[in-house]
Chain A
Amino acid sequence: MKDKIQSLQTQFAADSKNVDDRMAIQELKTKYIGKKGLITELMSSLKDMDKEDKKTYGQLINQVRTEFVTVIDEKEKSLAQAELDRKLQEETIDVSLPGEKIKRGSLHPFNRIIEDVEDFFVSMGYDVVDGPELETDENCFQRLNVPLGHPARDAQDTFYIDEEYLLRTQTSAVQARTMQENKEKTPIRMICPGKVYRRDDDATHSHQFGQVEGLVVDKDISLADLKGTLELFAKKMLGENTKVRFRPSFFPFTEPSVEVDVSCFKCGGKGCTLCKQTGWIELLGAGMVHPNVLSMGGYDPKVWSGFAFGTGLDRLAMFRYAIPDIRYLYTNDVRFLEQFARKDEENVIK
């Protein structure tokens, strides 16, 4: 019996040696450990032996069977692994090929600036207000302390529609509206970004351009508050190191009025072509709301004070994106537009 078992082991070793496909493994299984296999056959040949031998050889055969099962299992496992490896190999792709994505469109630099300005002021409690582009002379000029025949009208050559209506020359027109429309005469904190129109067209002027107007009406507002606000605004729009300078100026709807310069963001104030060697760039007009404007808006200037400011959106866009000519903003060359197809960098101010 012992010899039989040994020869079976030798036979299995020889048979299993070169087995490497699924079919051969199955055959091996059937031949040795199948229901009618050689192990079963050997086991059944024990039935005529005595109890002691039965037990001894039975154990031995079972041991051999376990050996065979282990060998076959391993064969199966490694075969499965090889098959998987082959499959994975076959499925390998070129990851450098472009992904399936919609070709992204773009957002116009002008509107990108508006979003930034809006977000900044909304974070400080300002409301964003909209106003009509077709305005009345009354809102655009008269209620801003620019009566008919006032020389300040010369600075803004106006597109008139008729005697009463015009294309607004400044978003300041929304100041007058906001004060009038606030029937409860509660404090005001608002900005109004939008389009304005003037009869003027060259490399630095477009007959249509953008402005944002800001207005605060409250109690005990001062020029120092205005400066603090514009310092933050300038840092947000042009960079953390931006400084702000006030120069006295004149606007009919503010008194005192200031011209607001910012330190040149390109040269850091050392002087360059952008700032015409002065280190400063004129950015905003601002001032304390003129008492006449407050009165006309229904706010008693003895009780209320406030500041207003205005700046050009096109210039801000030109500064941020290094656009050399205002007309590029309005030409809409697709090759220009497509350059504005990603997220803006966030300028965090402390």
Chain B
Amino acid sequence: MLLSRKFVSDYVDIDVDTKTLAEDMTGIGNEYDSCGKLLPVSNLVIGKVVDCIAHPDSDHLHVCQVDIGQETLQIVCGAPNVRAGLKVIVALNGAVLPGGIIKKSIIRGQESNGMLCSMAELGLEHKFLTEKDVAGIQELPDDAPVGQDPIAYLQLDDEVIDFELTSNRGDLLSILGMAYEIGALYQKPVKEIDTTFAETKDDIKKSFTLDVQTDKCPLFLVKKVTNVTIKESPDFIKNRLIASGIRPINNVVDISNYVMLETGQPLHYYDADRLGDRLIVRMAADEEVLTTLDHQERSLTDQDIVIATLDGAVGLAGVMGGLTTEIEEDTKNIIIEAAIFDSTTIRKTSKKVLRSEASNRFEKGIDPKRTYLALLRSCYLLEKYADATIVGGMVEHKNMPIEDKVIPITVEKINQILGITLSKEEILTIFDRLAFTYKEQDNTLLVTVPTRRTDISIAEDLIEEVGRIYGIDKIVGKPMILPVKPGYVNKDKRYIRHKLADLGLNETLSYALISDKDVYQFTDQQFKPIKVLDPMSEERNTLRYSLLTSLLSIYRYNRARGQKDIRLFEIGKGFYALGDRYYEETKLSILMSGQYWTGLMSQKIDFYILKGILEELLDSLGFQQRYSFVAKAHPDLHPGQSASISINNQIIGFIGKIHPAVEKEDVYVAELSLDKLLAMRVKGMQYKEISKYPAISKDVAFVVDRSITSEMLEKTIKKAGGHLLTSIRLFDLYEGEHIAADKKSLAYSLTFQDMKRTLNEEEVMTIFDKIIHSVTTTYQADLRDK
């Protein structure tokens, strides 16, 4: 919302400079984006060209002598319309214009002390310029006072604040609303708005029919004026429209916009002779077509409100008028519409068709009293500036209450919510400043809120008003006193993240939205991908199922930038649909490639390094001996280097090398469902008695088929070893020239110990032999050193 200082000053006196006003308005909740002069220029005077001769060395430049009152300056000018006798805008040496600073210069051998300006050079936005404004220098009227400030003379010496209003303050989309707000801020009264005009003795109701067929239009008012003269608007109207960001067109169109700016009520003017004597307000038919003012053909639906005659739609209600009944140069008689339309409906239509100054106001809500006011103000201005004759009477459709709200509130409640101690008198002063009236009834204040404040409906809204005007920042923060209780945070994920970082992995943060093309990567689960209805791009149109999709693209990003040792992990959500239900699952994903460094040493990352990290993680979470890695092919993974990870026979994730067809470098990945993992119970840590008696260790190496896994051997050893076997540790794996090609050797260190006594060599050997027997017979194993 662009606020013209001159415009609002019609209705409230402002004693502070514009910057202060903007800051103070921010202090009561109305932020501004920028604030400054309408034309950001300085050092201009009105001059008169007293002599103008062709430049001796140029075919288009002129050398002018310009009288600026105190002195006469020589200025070289290239405009085609420069001539002796013309009153002009002179930018003196040192003048600041949007295009730069004017300096004394020599132009093709002729001294030039300044510049003669066009309107375009003064920084007026392009949309406000006519062809004449761009083509040549501005020609001022003959009576323009030489030596004076041309900006003030043209009444363009305005200042503008660009407010970024909150969506509830539709009332501030009007000069009157702003005047009330500024009045409340500085304790100034708001001045009367003039709506006096003469009317004919006719009654429009006799000659005009209004037929409102929808409940989406609770208020619709019509008046008629005749015999208007279409011409250019007076300067003050044009300038205020420009300051407010609206392009002046002609006096009639400008007045409709001017009144909208003043009152916040958008109006529509129809050429009465093209319209006829009837208006219908109804929902559009599906695929009904209307050509709007901007010459666009619009296809409508039954969700759009239209204004129509019996011949069809003539306007898209609240958004834009139709072309057929537009005000044109020859328009004589006008039907004025002032109406309120359902804000939600307008919002939907305007989102589809066009956001306009009008639709923005309808969406935010209109004060019905302003509907009447705007209609009358329109007549006043049309009579004054367009020679209109106002036809008596008004056609009125009213299907809404127009009453001020009365809200009960107590001083205690206000102070309790704000956390301050205002007296009743202080509070009443604030209501006075807001121009709200009130009555006292016992301990309760009955506050009457005018209809213009559409945003206020409950006591809390009033409390906010009190806080705002009192100065919400004056509230002093205090330590909140509530009963002591422990706060709760689940630290499982935090533990896992710290653990993995300590193990050398870098935590990433990636986008959940990916391309639908990638959603089935690293999975063969049957699910429906979840797509967003209105994606920003095809690259991000679907919620990911696996986080590995993201990690792989992060890997590639880094790899393309020369990074080779890449170790990543992330905890995040994967999404999928089954049937008509949506699911999200928290997952932990890891990706590793390159070298794994320990000090000066490094090791090429392989399956076992990643597996070791997962084992370390699971052990540290309390899952020792409860998990197993079982060879299992997995989509997009190497079939011979992939495994499922289970705990208590429930699969919680997978690990493997990425399939060379997907990624030619050696990249290892794993993904666990943290929802499943963390749902599993883990026993509390408890001290276990340490044996006072010595342990005996025995080493053994088995040569077995390569298909036999270490896990299988360990199970057999454990079973045969019984309770005296306290630990099994694999310390060597050998495949190579000293044993058969289809065999491997696995060497274990076994420890035997008892809690109650010292074991003797003999009994340990008995168990050891039993273990060897069990393994050799179960797996046709040989002992390596025999």
Residues of A within 8 A of B (CB): 97-108, 110-111, 115, 118-119, 121-128, 130, 132-134, 148-149, 151-152, 154-155, 159-162, 165, 167, 187, 189, 195, 197, 199, 201, 207-208, 216, 218, 220-231, 244-250, 252, 255-259, 288, 290-291, 305, 329-335, 337-338, 341
Give B456's nearest chain A residue, CB to CB: A255
A64 shortest CB reach to chain B, Å: 51
A-B contact pairs, 9 of them (CB 8 A): A102-B502, A133-B584, A151-B167, A155-B167, A199-B534, A225-B480, A247-B472, A247-B473, A333-B558
Assess the A248–B485 pair: CB atoms within 8 A.
no
Residues in chain A near residue B460, CB distance under 8 A: 255-256, 288, 290-291
Tell me which residues across on chain B come within 8 A of A187, comparing CB atoms: 482
Find residues 562-588 in chain B having any chain A CB closer than 8 Å to their own CB: 563, 566-569, 573, 575, 582, 584
| Chain A at the B interface: SS class | mixed
Pair A334/B599 contact, Cβ less than 8 Å: no
For the complex, is B494 an interface residue (Cβ under 8 Å from A)?
A: yes
The answer to whether B166 and A250 have CB atoms under 8 Å apart is yes
Task: Report yes or no: A305 in contact with B417, Cβ–Cβ below 8 A.
Answer: yes
- Tell me the count of chain B residues lying within 8 A, CB to CB, of chain A: 89
Known A-B contacts A208-B511, A291-B460; A248 and B348 likewise in contact (beta carbons under 8 Å):
no
**Is there a chain A Cβ closer than 8 Å to B784's Cβ?**
no
Instruction: Report A-chain residues with C-beta under 8 Å of the C-beta of B29.
Output: 247-250
In the bound complex, residues from chain A placing their C-beta under 8 Å from that of B582 are: 134, 161, 165
Chain A residues near B535 (CB-CB < 8 A): 159
Report whether B482 and A218 are in contact in the complex, using a CB–CB cutoff of 8 Å: yes
**A102/B598 in contact, CB under 8 A:** yes
Across the interface, do B575 and A223 meet the contact criterion of CB distance under 8 Å? no
> What 4 additional pairs, Cβ within 8 angstroms, besides A122-B487, A124-B487?
A100-B599, A103-B597, A104-B502, A333-B557
Q: How far is the CA of A152 from the CA of B476 in the complex (A)?
A: 29
B766 within 8 A of A: no
Query: CA separation between A329 and B508, bound complex, in Å?
Result: 9
B interface residues, Cβ below 8 angstroms from A: 26-29, 31, 166-169, 343-344, 347-348, 363-364, 416-420, 455, 458, 460-461, 463-464, 467-468, 472-473, 475-480, 482, 484-490, 494, 497-498, 500-513, 530-536, 540, 543, 554, 557-558, 561, 563, 566-569, 573, 575, 582, 584, 596-601
Tell me if A256 and B472 are in contact (CB < 8 A).
yes
Chain B, Cβ-Cβ closest to A114? B494
Would you give the shortest CB distance from A350 to chain B, in whole angstroms? Answer: 13
Chain B nearest CB from A249 CB (Å) reads 6
User: Once the chains are docked, how many angstroms separate the CA of A132 from the CA of B574?
Assistant: 11
Q: Are A223 and B509 in contact (CB under 8 A)?
A: no
Contact across chains for A223 and B467 when beta carbons are under 8 A apart: yes
**Which chain A residue lies CB-closest to B342?**
A149
Determine whether the beta carbon of B487 is less than 8 Å from that of A250. no
Q: Is there an interface contact between A246 and B472, defined as CB atoms closer than 8 Å?
A: yes
Residues of the B chain whose Cβ atoms lie less than 8 Å from the Cβ of A334: 506, 558, 563, 566
Chain A residues with CB under 8 Å of B482's CB are 125, 187, 189, 216, 218
Which residue of chain A has its CB nearest to the CB of B344?
Answer: A149
A126–B344 contact, CB under 8 A? no
Q: Which residue of B lies closest to A339 (CB)?
A: B506
Q: Chain A residues near B417: list those with CB within 8 A.
A: 222-223, 256, 288, 305
Identify which of A97, A110, A223 contacts B600 (C-beta below 8 A).
A97
> Known contacts being A148-B344, A161-B582, is A230 close to B477, with CB within 8 Å?
yes
Q: Are A244 and B533 in contact, with the CB atoms below 8 A?
A: no
Select which of B26, B484, B507 is within 8 A of A111 by beta carbon: B507
Q: Whole-angstrom distance between the alpha carbons of A246 and B347 in the complex? A: 31
Which residues of chain A come closer than 8 Å to B464, judged between CB atoms?
248, 255-257
Task: Determine how close the nearest CB of chain A comes to the CB of B748; give it in whole angstroms.
Answer: 26
Q: How far is the CA of A167 from the CA of B535 in the complex (A)?
A: 12
Find chain B residues with CB under 8 A from A329 CB: 509
Contact of A248 with B468 in the complex, beta carbons under 8 Å: yes
A92 CA to B568 CA in the complex, in Å? 39
Q: Is the CB of A125 within 8 A of B584?
A: no
Whether A107 contacts B467 in the complex (CB less than 8 A), given A101-B599, A199-B536, A334-B558, comes out as: no
Q: Cα distance A220–B482 when bound, in Å?
A: 10
Smallest CB-CB separation from B23: which chain A residue?
A278
How many angstroms between the C-alpha atoms of A127 and B464 in the bound complex?
Answer: 29
CA distance A115 to B490 in the complex (A): 11
Distance between Cα atoms of A245 and B477 in the complex (Å): 10
Q: How many Å lie between the Cα of A341 and that of B597 in the bound state?
A: 15
A330 touches B497 (CB 8 A): no
Q: Which residues of A contact B596 (CB under 8 A)?
A: 103
Smallest CB-CB separation from B463: which chain A residue?
A256
How far apart are the CA atoms of A260 and B416 in the complex, in Å?
20
Give A216 to B512 CA distance when docked, in angstroms: 30
Taking a contact as CB atoms closer than 8 A, the residue among B458, B477, B504 that contacts A255 in the complex is B458
Return the chain B residue nearest A160 by Cβ.
B533
Residue of B nearest to A124 (CB): B487
Q: A151-B363, A223-B467 are in contact. Are A104 and B504 (CB under 8 A)?
A: yes
Chain B minimum-CB-distance residue to A230: B477
Residues of A within 8 A of B476 (CB): 224, 227
Tell me how far the C-beta of B542 lies from the nearest C-beta in chain A, rounded to whole angstroms. 10
